[in-house]
Amino acid sequence: MIEINNLTKNFDQFTAIDDLTFTVKEGEVLGFLGPNGAGKSTTMKLITGFLSASHGSISIDGFDISKNPIEAKSLMGYLPEGAPSYGDMTTLEFLNFVAQIRGYTGEEILLRVQRVLDEVELNSVSQQTIETLSKGFKRRVGLAQAIMHDPKVLILDEPTDGLDPNQKHHVRELIKNLARDKIVIISTHILEEVTAVCSRAIIIAQGRIVADGTPAELESRSKYHQAVSVRLSKNYDLAADLTGIAEVGDVEKDSEDDMVFRILASGSNSIFSQVSEIAQAKHWPVTEFHVSRGQLEDVFRTVTQQTQGQGAQQ
């Protein structure tokens, strides 16, 4: 379990992290979201013990990162932002080095290194120096070193940044397979990734938590939650038919497509059946009709911009 209490980090006058408190339990895959400069990477650097906190505490399975750094670091695997590694070493040399530092000796080194080479599919480039590898391979080398010791806590700073869609999918599968009894914290600004792999998401802005919940819970905070999306074949005034129904809110026209409308729900209950009855009764010229899930992007924008607005007012 990771416990973070009143974590604050100041750089000179600037407060990068402002009184964060949260815990992460075994089996959780936590997506760490936020606009650029919100403090995602800083938080990860604090958790992994690279930076030390100005106030507050971080404990990894009971080991305080500032008091027992070696024990705490042994439990963690970390992929720093940009997946740095020693460019003049070959993949194999580099992974051997990490295996040794992680405390393995003799035969065990070979086994461990071979296992991660297989797991992230690096066998084809094991003899190449890392600086000659493509971005995708470099990222995988970074992942390989992070999972070398089968860590209880895996902290990945933008693990899929710069990967092509196939590689992204592969990395996500890897994370999902790892996660059962582990803690994974991923920072990302790709929101689809959160829905794809995370069991929980925290959105931070200006160093503070502005939203915390499962991706589904966060999505339900979107105004598009339970909205019905309709594509028409010709112009028709939907709003006129829907007035007077309490559960139905506004009707919005899609900004990109004139023929697509979104009928918003005023509460959190499903309005699909009601709207579909009306559509049949009034013979709407419908070609597509579906319930849209809440949009995480919409929630993200709302909560992060609110804080920015507050910040500006202060």
Partner 1 sequence: MRNLLIIFKRELLSYFATPLAYIFIVIFLVVNGFLTFDFGGFYARGQADLSPFFAFHPFLYLFMVPAIAMTMWADERKTGTIELLLTLPINLRDAILGKYLAAWALIGIALCLTFPIWITANYLGDPDNGVIFAAYVGSWFMAGAYLAIGACLSACTKNPVIAFILTVTICVIFVLLGYPFLLGMLTGWVPQIIIDAISSMGFLTHFDSISKGVFDVRDFLFFGVFIAAWLFASAVVIELKKAS
Residue with Cβ nearer partner 1 (19 or 71): 71
Q: Please identify, among the stretches 42-50, 198-206, 213-221, 242-250, the one whose residues bind partner 1 according to the rule CB under 8 A.
A: 42-50
Q: Which residues, other chains included, contact 117 with Cβ-Cβ below 8 Å and sequence gap of 6+?
A: 91, 92, 95, 123, 126, 144
Q: How many chain residues interact with partner 1 (CB under 8 A)?
A: 31
CA separation for the pair 31, 49 (Å, rounded): 19
86 part of the interface to partner 1, by CB under 8 A: yes
Among 74, 126, 199, 308, indicate the residue that binds partner 1 (CB under 8 A): 74
Span interacting with partner 1, options 18-26, 64-72, 110-118, 199-207, rule CB under 8 A:
64-72
CA-nearest of 311, 268, 307 to 291 is: 268
CA distances (Å), 308 to each of 11, 241, 296, in order? 19, 39, 18
Q: Does 56 bind partner 1 (CB under 8 A)?
A: no
Region near partner 1 per CB under 8 A, out of 72-80, 159-167, 210-218, 252-260: 72-80
d(CA 10, CA 122): 39
Q: At what angle do helices 165-178 and 135-147 cross, to 10 degrees?
A: 10
Distance in Å, CB of 11 to partner 1, minimum: 6
- Rounded Cα distance, 277 and 19, in Å: 50
How far apart are alpha carbons 18 and 296 in whole angstroms? 24
- Whether the CB-CB separation of 119 and 147 falls below 8 Å is answered with yes
Candidates 83-91, 163-171, 218-226, 268-276 — which segment interacts with partner 1 by CB under 8 A? 83-91
CA nearest 33: which of 228, 172, 271, 215?
215
Nearer to partner 1, 11 or 311 (CB): 11
| List 87, 267, 285, 309, residue binding partner 1 (CB under 8 A) | 87
Of 21, 101, 169, 280, which one interacts with partner 1 (CB under 8 A)?
101
Residue 206 contacts partner 1 per CB under 8 A = no
Task: Decide if residue 48 touches partner 1 (CB under 8 A).
Answer: yes
Site residues for partner 1 per CB under 8 A: 11, 45, 48-51, 69-71, 73-74, 76, 78, 80-82, 84-89, 93, 97-98, 100-103, 129, 145
